[in-house]
């Protein structure tokens, strides 16, 4: 299984806003979230980070993973599916075999003028759409997902993600490739498991609440029904990208003497 999660008990979720509630569907998805890629766990904090911040067992009962409202990474995954599953042409994908440094140089180049900025947007937008967004974290893991003729690539590189001088994340750097069909099955499984867990949570929530916390069960049920159909919609969408324009922009940005040469 690729996508893993564990929900925090309802009684341990602090209500948002004034008056201790009511809880929202989004807020009730608070929990831990991680990906298991072979023997590697993404979104798992390093032992050095946990120890430095007093979070290593037996000092804390929490998991050593990113904790947040699971609705956020779930939604982030869904909205990126059209880009992730749209195959990158062979000639552009071949550039990725040597790593991400070449395109990161384009992204980070401070010397671009107005024309360079426009060209850089075309050259890199497709890559940014395949870059995992976890900006709700101060030092998010650096993860990229894309499809080519081999399948779906999952690449991570957290070597420079430090907090207080120690590695933030347990997974340093690596890459795996899996068949696109298998990746989609994992997404479908994650979607179904999260929605089932939330359906069960809504069904029992009145007796699970801490004293004085309010909840609108009808509103939660409406939100649950709305989210039930999101995955199929995103899977049906197709990314619109002009790869000829991307090639032209990449050639311009990486030409000898160019902005990223």
Cα pseudo-dihedral 79, 84, 89, 91, rounded to 10: 120
Q: How do 166-167 and 143-148 pair as beta strands?
A: unpaired
Nearby residues of 117 by Cβ (< 8 Å), 6 or more positions away:
none
DSSP 38: T
Examine the pLDDT at 237 and tell me if it is beyond 50: yes
Calpha distance 245→243 (Å, rounded): 5
3-class secondary structure, 5: strand
Which pLDDT score, from 0 to 100, does residue 60 have? 55
Examine the pLDDT at 75 and tell me if it is beyond 60: yes
Task: Answer whether 202's CB lies under 8 Å from 217's CB.
Answer: yes
Phi, psi of 172 (to 5 degrees): -85, -65
Calpha distance 38→210 (Å, rounded): 39
Nearby residues of 248 by Cβ (< 8 Å), 6 or more positions away:
122
Residue 124 CA to its chain's centroid (Å): 18
Nearest CA among 181, 180, 163, 161 for reference residue 171: 161
Q: pTM here? A: 0.89
My answer on whether omega of the bond before 58 falls inside 30° of 0, hence cis, is: yes
Calpha distance 85→67 (Å, rounded): 27
Q: How do 30-37 and 3-7 pair as beta strands?
A: antiparallel
Residue 3, phi-psi category: left (phi > 0), alpha (psi -120 to 50), beta (remainder): beta
- The average confidence (pLDDT) of the chain is 87
Res. 215 pLDDT band, cuts 50 70 90 = confident
In degrees, rounded to 5, the angle at the alpha carbon of residue 80 between the alpha carbons of residues 133 and 63 is: 50
Task: Answer whether 170's CB lies under 8 Å from 196's CB.
Answer: no
Tens of pLDDT along 1-59? 999 999 999 888 887 765 555 688 999 999 999 999 999 999 999 999 988 877 755 44
Examine the pLDDT at 113 and tell me if it is beyond 50: no
In this prediction, residues 146-164 reach a mean pLDDT of 92
In this prediction, residues 105-116 reach a mean pLDDT of 58
């Amino acid at each position: 299984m690729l996508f893993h999660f564990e929900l925090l008990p309802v009684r341990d979720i602090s209500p948002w806003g004034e008056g201790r509630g009511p809880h929202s569907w989004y807020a009730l998805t608070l929990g831990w979230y991680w990906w298991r890629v072979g023997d590697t766990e993404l979104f798992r904090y390093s032992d050095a980070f946990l120890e430095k911040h007093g979070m290593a067992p037996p000092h804390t009962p929490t998991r050593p993973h990113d904790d947040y409202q699971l609705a956020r990474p779930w939604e982030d995954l869904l909205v990126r599916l059209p880009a992730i599953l749209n195959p990158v042409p062979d000639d552009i994908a071949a550039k990725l075999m040597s790593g991400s440094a070449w395109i990161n140089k384009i992204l980070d180049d401070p010397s671009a003028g107005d024309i360079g900025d426009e060209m850089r947007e075309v050259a890199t937008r497709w890559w940014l759409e395949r870059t995992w967004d976890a900006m709700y974290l101060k030092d998010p893991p650096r993860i990229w997902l894309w499809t080519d003729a081999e399948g779906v690539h999952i690449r991570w590189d957290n070597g420079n993600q430090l907090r207080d001088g120690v590695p933030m994340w347990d997974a340093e750097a690596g890459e795996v490739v899996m068949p696109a069909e298998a990746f989609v099955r994992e997404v479908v499984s994650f979607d179904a498991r999260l929605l089932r867990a939330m359906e069960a949570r809504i069904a029992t929530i009145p007796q699970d609440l801490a004293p004085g916390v309010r909840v609108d069960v009808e509103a939660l049920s409406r939100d649950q029904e709305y989210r039930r159909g999101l995955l199929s919609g995103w899977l049906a969408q197709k990314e619109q990208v002009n790869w000829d324009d991307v090639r032209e922009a990449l050639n311009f940005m990486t030409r000898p003497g160019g902005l990223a040469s």
